[in-house]
Amino acid sequence: MENHGKFIGKIRKEVSSGKLAEPFRSTDVEKSCPGFAKSTYTTFLAKHSVGNPGKTTELFERVDRGLYRLKP
C-alpha cells in the first residue's frame, strides 16, 4: 500500500504543477510518473474511481472510458 501512496502523491504533484493535464489516461500517467509497475498504470485509475465495484478508496472521477481526473 505504501507504493500506492507514492503513486497517488506523484499524480497529484504532476497535476498541480501542470505537467499532467486533466483529464488523463493511464498512458499519460505512465509518461508523467515513470518507475511504477506496468499493472499499476493499467488498473489503478479504474480501481480507485468513484463508484468502483470493489468499494476501494475513491481517488478519481471517470470522465469517459479510460479518461480520469482527480476527485476534488
- pTM of the predicted protein model: 0.91
Tell me which amino acid residue 34 is: P
Distances in whole angstroms, Cα of residue 59 to Cα of each of 23, 62, 69 = 13, 10, 9
- DSSP helix/strand/coil, 16: helix
Summarised one tens digit per residue, pLDDT across range 25-67 is 999 999 999 999 999 998 999 999 999 999 999 999 999 999 9
The partner residues of 68 in beta bridges, in order of sequence, read 24, 62
Q: Are 1 and 9 in contact (CB under 8 A)?
A: no
pLDDT for 17-30, tens place per residue? 999 999 999 999 99
Contact of 67 with 21, CB cutoff 8 Å: no
